[in-house]
Every structure is written in C-alpha cells, then in structure tokens.
Amino acid sequence: MPSSVANESQFRFQSSRSRASCPSRTPSEPDSPAATPSCDVVDQALAELQLQSQEISEKDLLVASTSRQGRSGWQIKASQLSINTHNRIRNIVESLKIKPNPEKPMIPLSIGDPTTFGNLKAADETMKAVLHSLESGKFNGYAHTQGHEVARQAVAKYSAHQRPDGEIDPNEVVLCSGCSSALEYCILALADRGQNVLVPRPGFCLYGTLTEGLDIEVRYYDLLPDQEWRADLVQLESLIDENTAALLINNPSNPCGSVFDEEHLLQLIDICERHYLPIIADEIYEHFVFPGSKHVAVSSLTKEVPVLSCGGLTKRFLVPGWRMGWIIIHDRKQRLANSIVGLKNMCGRILGSNTIIQGALPEILTKTPQSYFDGVIDVLHSNATLAYKMLKTVRGLNPVMPNGAMYMMIGVSIERFPAFKDDTHFVQELVNEQSVFCLPGSCFEYPGYVRIVLTVPGPMIEEACSRMAEFCDRHFKKDSRAFIEHGLLDEDLAF
C-alpha cells in the first residue's frame, strides 16, 4: 500500500515538534460526538506550520530581490512542493506525548503493514517466483517505462474481472512503484494546479499528501457510518464544479473496511456521468473481502465513465516492501484523450518499477494458491469479529463492523470521557496507560473515531480489546440525568 502507511511504524514515544493540522472541515454526521472537535497540539502545530511557511515566503522575496544583483552568499531554499507536502498520519503521531506503560507490552494497532507481526507471511510460491526471476538473469536491466511486456500481460489477465468481456490489452496496463505511485500518476495525469479532486472522508491521508503540495485542492465527500460508510451522495455532488478533475473511490476502504455494493457504485457512476468526471479507483484491497460481501470493480459497471484502477501486490500477497503496483486504464469510449499520453509520460520520471519483481509477476499471479488467500481472509475476518464483539459492549465506544480490507473504525463518544479533549488526546492516554496504540480519526479527516488494524495475532487483538475496555471503564462518565429520572439521585446532588 501507499508509502505513507509505512510511516505509521515510525511513531515516537517522545514529544517532538509537530507539523500536524486540525481538520478545517468536520463530518456532516449528526450524531458524531466530535462534530466540532477541540484541538490542542494539533492547532498549535498548524499555527507553527503557517508561521514557517510565511517566513519562507518572506525569505523567498528577499532572495528574489537580491538575486538580480548577484549572489552574495549561500541562498539555497526549499522548493514549494517540498514545503507544502505533509503526511498527516506522521504529523499527528509525532505530536503525541507518548510514554507507554512499562508494565504492559506494547500493542501497536496503528501499523498498516500486514507483515509487521510475523503471523502473516508471503506464500512460498510468491517467494520462489522472485528467486526464479533473479536466477534467470533476464530482468537486471531497464524495462519499458510502462513495464516488461510479459509482466503487463500477466496483470492484464489477472485483472480480467474488471471488464465484463474480460479483455484487457497489455498496453492498457502501467506498472508502478507501489500503489502509491499509481495513485500519484493518476492524479497528476488528470489534475492541474488550481483544480480539485474529490476524495472520501474518512479516507487515507496519502490522497492529500499527493495533491496539496502541487496546489491541487482536495475536496472531501463524507462517508456515513450508520449506512455502512456509503457516500453522502447529495453532499458529494454539491462539491463538483468546473474545476473538478476526478472522483477518487477507495473500495474496499482504508480506514473504514467498507465494501460498496453494486447499487451504490452505480449511483456514484451516475453522478460522474452527469458531470463528465473520470474515476480514480483505489482498489488495492479488491480481494480483501469478508464472507457475505462481494467486491465489484467499478470499471465493470460502466462504459461511459473512464476509470483508472489502481492495484498491486502490496496487501493481497503480503509484500508491501516490494513496491509493485499498477494502473489499469478503462477508457472504452476514448474520453481520456491525451490524459493517457500524460499518464504514460509520468512513467518516464523514474524509468519504471522494480524489474526483478516484474519478471516474477507471471508466476506470482498464477501459481499462488487460493487456499493461501483464503487463510489470510480467515485471520482478518476472525479478528474483526472478535474485536467487534468485545468492543461493542464497551461504554463510550461504537465499533463499525468492516466487510473487508484490514481495518476497523471505532466511534468514541468523547463527551463521555471528560478527561480527554479529543480523539487524539484519547489515543495518547490509551498508549500511556495501556500501551495500546490506535490511530486517531483525525489522521483520516474524521475526528471522534479511532482506527485499529486487524492483522495482528488473535491473542493480541483480544488482549488489546481487553485493555481498551479497562481504559474506557476507568474514564467513562455516567450520565447523572439517568439516575435523576429514575429517582436514584437528587437533582441537587447531580453535579
């Protein structure tokens, strides 16, 4: 998955100067306990960031005025792209003042890397395929910037389910350095400075990281937890204007674990068709679907709306460090025009992805047994079921059962925990008291929630949930009015 996920593993246990920001827009969820969250370290960090940017701009003006007269000394400056590029997860996590409880082993439920805990490993067939690629000696040199022909053929065949007729031309496949690179290529091929891209909220922070540094605006459309995280269609459509370049759909979702059904996908397609919007489909978790749910590729439902589908080996094959992603171009009415040329031009920036892994793709995609994939899904689904059952009974928490991916979002009724200012503060103290590390919903533009990963060993999930229950029971504040109404407490003594 996107490279910024790896940054989640770089959480620090000491305070540091942060560049985190507090979301300027809050979800349109009526029952959200944090509809107007208070922000402490996040607000302060944002103010520092704005001050730094202002100082940099003033220095730029000074450099510009003096450069015409020749340089009088070192005047190296950072590019605007680098200054404006921020990883929200890393910024917020680094702002936390964390000192885990030394009496309890750390359980990091924040790390979106399925290989971290050692219980989920790549299949033997996947490992042998890379060995065979290496030993062949055929894949040590540069490849075509879109990828080796044999590798693109393998991906086209593997992704045939994304078309009703099952026919994908290898020339419609672009190999990339991970799914994060695939997403970046799609955004840069479709959107220019001053335009905007619609992305989900809650949603993975990488979308903002890839766009805002280039002065491409991110506009968030809300996902509704009480509707299994379906999009708020009315609110989404209200965001569209003449500068909207694309709609980004993440299905199955990180961080929600939701899986859109065909009906909802058709509703999204209808909006795009009426407003002439292409779709960027982040479908890296397309095969991570739990029993009872079914993933439908959005490209399989439309010939009218062009779709750029992003996928890769990262999650399903449990090899995120191999950095092998791809884009499938679905443009049966030839509506992307020269955007496809631009997309393929982007591949020349780094001269293609890892060629050893490209050489292994045909074997990886055909020889890894279904039983291996089924075993991984069993682990994730079992952990999701266990966590949901345990946390559903905890006062002040409201977990939303996922239907896929490897995450669960848990609502936190922050008003029932008066000791904590917001979801970020809640997470910080959960680590300090119980050594359980979740990610606050603010990392995903959705305060009032926390996200946990489901890739850890089963006993670790159980222990983590037990600690979370203990933490919440300790800090939960009962509603005095309930006692008053039942005559168990005099109103004068309620406060």
Question: 92: pLDDT confidence band, cut at 50, 70 and 90?
Answer: confident
Integer Cα distance of 86 and 218 in angstroms: 13
Question: 45: pLDDT confidence band, cut at 50, 70 and 90?
Answer: low
Q: pLDDT above 70 covers what percent of the chain?
A: 83
Which region holds residue 470: left if phi is over 0, alpha if psi is between -120 and 50, else beta?
Answer: alpha
Convert 307-327 into a string of H (helix), E (strand) and C (coil).
Answer: EEEEEECCCCCCCHHHCCEEE
Higher pLDDT, 79 or 268: 268
| Average pLDDT of span 324-343 | 95
Q: Give the pLDDT score at 352.
A: 86
Q: Give the pLDDT score at 49.
A: 55
109-123, 307-321, 402-416, 468-482: the lowest-pLDDT one: 468-482
**H or E element, residue 451:** strand 449-453
Question: 21: pLDDT confidence band, cut at 50, 70 and 90?
Answer: very low
Question: 31: pLDDT confidence band, cut at 50, 70 and 90?
Answer: very low
pLDDT of 37 > 70? The answer is no
pLDDT of 42 > 70? The answer is no
| Average pLDDT of span 197-219 | 93
| Average pLDDT of span 138-147 | 95
Please name the residue that has the structure tokens 């991984």: 376
| Average pLDDT of span 442-455 | 96
Q: Give the pLDDT score at 8.
A: 40
pLDDT of 4 > 50? The answer is no
Mean per-residue pLDDT of the chain: 87
Is the domain spanning 3-116+372-480 CATH 3.20.10.10? The answer is: no
pLDDT of 70 > 50? The answer is yes
Beta carbons of 328 and 173 less than 8 angstroms apart: yes
| Average pLDDT of span 223-232 | 97
- Work out whether the CA dihedral 94, 95, 101, 105 comes out positive or negative: negative
| Average pLDDT of span 108-128 | 95
| Average pLDDT of span 337-355 | 91
The long-range contacts involving 193-197, CB below 8 angstroms and separated by at least 24 positions, are 194/243, 195/243, 195/244, 195/245, 196/239, 196/241, 196/243, 196/244, 196/245, 197/244, 197/245, 197/246, 197/247, 197/248, 197/280
Q: Give the pLDDT score at 27.
A: 43
| Average pLDDT of span 56-79 | 68
Q: Give the pLDDT score at 132.
A: 98
Question: 349: pLDDT confidence band, cut at 50, 70 and 90?
Answer: confident
Q: Give the pLDDT score at 87.
A: 80
Each residue's pLDDT tens digit, 277-332 = 999 999 999 999 999 999 999 999 999 999 999 999 999 999 999 999 999 999 99
pLDDT of 127 > 90? The answer is yes
Amino acid in the structure at residue 332: R
Integer Cα distance of 160 and 429 in angstroms: 47
Q: Give the pLDDT score at 322.
A: 96
CA 412 to chain centre: 20
Q: Identify whether 252 is preceded by a cis peptide bond (ω within 30 of 0).
A: yes
pTM for this prediction: 0.83
Beta carbons of 494 and 481 less than 8 angstroms apart: yes
pLDDT of 64 > 70? The answer is no
Q: Give the pLDDT score at 495.
A: 32
Question: 12: pLDDT confidence band, cut at 50, 70 and 90?
Answer: very low
Q: pLDDT above 90 covers what percent of the chain?
A: 73
| Average pLDDT of span 400-414 | 98
126-140, 267-281, 324-338, 341-355: the lowest-pLDDT one: 341-355
| Average pLDDT of span 144-168 | 96
Q: Where are the domains of the chain?
A: 3-116+372-480, 124-367
Which residues fall within 8 angstroms of residue 258, CB to CB, at 6 or more apart? 223, 228, 229, 230, 251, 252, 402, 403, 404, 405
Beta carbons of 353 and 148 less than 8 angstroms apart: no
Q: Give the pLDDT score at 253.
A: 98
Higher pLDDT, 272 or 75: 272
**Helix, coil or strand: residue 203:** coil
User: b/e per residue, 314-347, with b = 16+ CB within 10 A?
Assistant: bbbbbbbebbbbbbbbbbeeeebeebbeebbebb
Burial of 383 (0-12, 13-18, 19+ CB in 10 A): buried
Which fold is adopted by the domain 124-367? Aspartate Aminotransferase; domain 2 (3.40.640)
Q: Give the pLDDT score at 493.
A: 36
